[in-house]
Amino acid sequence: MTNLLVLKEQLKNFYSKNDAFIIPGLKFLMAFVALLLINGQLGYMSRINSPAIALIAALTCSFLPINLIILIAALFVLLHLYALSIECAIVGLAVFLILFLLYFRFSPKDTAVIILTPLCFALNIPYVIPISMGLIGTPFSTVSVSCGVVVYYLISYVNGNAAALNAMEEESVIQKFRFIIDGMLNNKAMIVAIIAFVIAIVIVYFIRRMSIDHSWTIAIVTGALASLVIVFVGDMVYATQISIIGTFLGCLVSIGIVWVLQFFVFNVDYSRTEHVQFEDDEYYYYVKAVPKITVATPDKKVKKINIQKKPALKQTSVNKK
Amino acid sequence: MLNQERIILMTKMASYEENEGKKNVAIGGYFRGDYISLQLIRSVINGTLAYFIIVGMYVFYDFEVFMQEIYNMDIMAFGKGLIVRYLITVGSYSVLSYIVYSYRYSKAKKSLKCYFNNLKKLSKSYEREGK
């Protein structure tokens, strides 16, 4: 256990010293993996369907704010949908526009979730997202997670029905349009996933705020179980034909990943070195504020050491003469 | 001479100005009514655009039926239905925006109050030294 704590402290030190590189590095990694997965799942436009283009776009993204990264990912998706069929592109554009107009209006802090949710779905660890957002977010994160789920199922639906859409070349535009919209609105798996994730986030959020021991661990396990139960019930009711073993294993792996994340990332205050400049009448000040690193363990461990009882002092009678 | 306490106070204030302070100062520069009205207008515009997109998709989805019925149906009733739904949608979105932006405004003002108190403290510290 102490080794893990030491590792945690080392990570904190590493982060404080190198945060200028770590944030762009993480953004680059997220953008690169997201674009590679988009190209892998869709990949209908050959001009952008190469790792080199994904790499260049990801390198650009590493210096951009998260909202622009989401815009670039959405652009990639729309370009691929356009190469497949214009009706797909119109539906995709409508979904993204509604998302940007209504949701991004509030500039929420957790917009990265919209990229991370489809990523985790594609990597078969979807439950990482609702449990993590329950731990570090608020119940309002349900909106961003639901948007992420909708984006994933849009991409997944187009990917699964690309052959059917190609075969419908001769059908009218309206028929193709109806096919895509029906597929989106009647997608029971998507609705079950949204319900499961929303309930998981709310459960995790309320349990981790309770003042009981190990509330975070209990929250993680309860949230995961609740979402599993809802997914299985949804599978029985709507016959969504999901793989039970796959879902169960994915859930277990997600619990493990979230547990590691909550130990190293969520419970820690990663304060950074700051450089500020100001002046007064007499001096110019160039100040470098370095945070003091203290061990901040959330659970206090009380070690009881057996104190040997000191032998009682023998009262020596003093003979008073 | 360098006054350590003052430098620490100025450092904390400079750090605030560079991080949260930027957004809070931008919000705090408005009167409450002006800020909320501005945000509500932008929300109404966004809500209207989103509503038109949804109506467009709905019409396009049922396009053949729509084209056949357009001569038979009561345009006034259809228009009225559209307008009522528009008012409900944009109305509820505006209420939500009002709640969110009033909350953000009060949070920004509270944070700026702390900052201005620190400014006063700093100013008093200079006056004391000046004496």
- Say whether pLDDT at A44 is over 90: no
Pairs across A and B, CB distance < 8 A: 57
Which has the closest alpha carbon to A161: A94, A91, A209, A105?
A: A91
**Closest CA relative to residue A112, chosen from A90, A95, A136, A92:** A136
Residue type (1 letter), B69 = E
**A14 inside domain:** no
A240 and A122 in a common domain: yes
Give per-residue pLDDT as tens, B55-111: 988 888 877 777 777 777 777 888 888 899 999 999 999 999 999 999 999 999 999
Is-contact A16 A293, C-beta < 8 A?
yes
Which among B22, B50, B115 has a CA at the least distance from the CA of A103? B50
- Choice among A188-202, A291-305, B28-42 with the minimum mean pLDDT: A291-305
The answer on A71 and A176 residing in a single domain is no
Same structural domain, A123 and A37: no
pLDDT greater at residue B14 or residue A161 = B14
Domain identity same for A125 and A260: yes
Q: Which domain holds residue A44?
A: 21-84
Contacts of B63 in chain A (CB under 8 A): 174, 177
Domain-embedded: residue A257: yes
Nearest 5°: the CA angle B85, B102, B99 is: 35
Q: Chain B window 102-131: which residues touch A at a Cβ cutoff of 8 Å?
A: 126
Q: What mean pLDDT comes out for the span A31-49?
A: 85
Q: What is the per-residue pLDDT for A291?
A: 75
Does B34 have pLDDT greater than 80?
yes
How much of chain A exceeds pLDDT 70, in percent?
A: 88
Give A137-158 pLDDT, tens digit per residue: 888 889 899 999 999 998 888 8
- Higher model confidence: residue A131 or residue A274? A131
Q: Of A106, A276, A283, which has the smallest distance from its Cβ to B18's Cβ?
A: A276
Angle at B21 between CA B19 and CA B25, to 5 degrees: 145
Q: What's the average model confidence in pLDDT over A269-283?
A: 80
Question: Chain-wide mean pLDDT for chain A?
Answer: 82
Same domain (yes/no): A129, A79:
no
Domain check: are A68 and A190 in the same one?
A: no
- Report, as an integer, the average pLDDT of A269-284: 80
Q: Is residue A90 part of a domain?
A: no
**First-residue to last-residue Cα distance in chain A:** 64
Q: Is B93 on the interface with A (CB under 8 A)?
A: yes
On whether any CB of chain A is under 8 Å from the CB of B54, the answer is yes
The Cα of B53 is separated from the nearest Cα of chain A by a number of Å equal to 7
Give me the pLDDT at residue A245, please.
83
- Residue B126 amino acid letter: Y
Has residue A314 got a pLDDT over 60?
A: no
Hey, is the C-beta of B57 within 8 angstroms of any chain A C-beta?
yes
- Give the HSE-up count for residue B50: Cα atoms under 13 Å, Cβ half-sphere: 22
Determine, yes or no, domain membership for A45: yes
Q: What is the DSSP letter of A298?
A: S
Q: Give the residue from A238, A245, A121 showing the smallest Cα distance to A189.
A: A238
Quote the pLDDT of residue A235: 85
Domain-located, residue A96: no
Residue B27 has pLDDT above 70, yes or no: yes
- The reply to whether A203 falls in a domain is yes
Instruction: Give the gap in angstroms from C-alpha A175 to the nearest C-alpha of chain B.
Output: 8
A125 and A55 share a domain?
no
Q: Is the residue at A80 inside a domain?
A: yes
A284 backbone dihedrals φ, ψ, rounded to 5°: -100, 135
Three-point CA angle B24, B30, B34, nearest 5°: 130
**A37 shares its domain with A75:** yes
**Within 10 Å of residue A126's Cβ, how many Cβ atoms?**
25
Note the pLDDT tens digit of each residue in A6-29. Answer: 777 777 777 777 777 888 898 899
Same domain assignment for residues A146 and A260: yes
Same domain, A209 and A142: yes
Q: What is the pLDDT of residue A309?
A: 62
Contact (CB, 8 A) for A175 and A104: no
Domain boundary among A232, A249, A273: A273
Q: What's the mean pLDDT when you consider all of chain B?
A: 88
Amino acid at A168: M
Which of A84, A100, A131 terminates a domain? The answer is A84
Residues A166 and A254 in one domain: yes
Q: Tell me the two tokens of residue A98.
A: 């509604």
Q: Hey, is A126 helix, strand or coil?
A: coil
Task: Assess contact for A37 and A76: CB atoms under 8 A.
Answer: no
Give the integer Cα–Cα distance in Å for B26 and B23.
5
The answer on pLDDT for A297 being more than 60 is: no
Asked if residue A180 has pLDDT above 50, the reply is: yes
- Which tens digit of pLDDT belongs to each residue from A245-268? 888 888 888 888 888 888 777 766
Which residues, in sequence order, are CB contacts of A257 under 8 Å at separation 6+? A125, A128
The whole-model pTM stands at 0.81
Assign A320 a pLDDT band (cuts: 50, 70, 90).
Answer: very low
pLDDT digits (tens, 9 = 90+) for A56-80: 989 998 888 888 899 999 999 999 9
pLDDT at residue number B6: 87
Choose from A95, A276, A285, A292 for mutation: most chain B CBs within 10 A.
Answer: A276
Q: Indicate if A194 and A56 belong to the same structural domain.
A: no
User: Is residue A216 included in any domain, yes or no?
Assistant: yes
Residue-level length of chain A: 321
Q: How many domains does chain A have?
A: 2
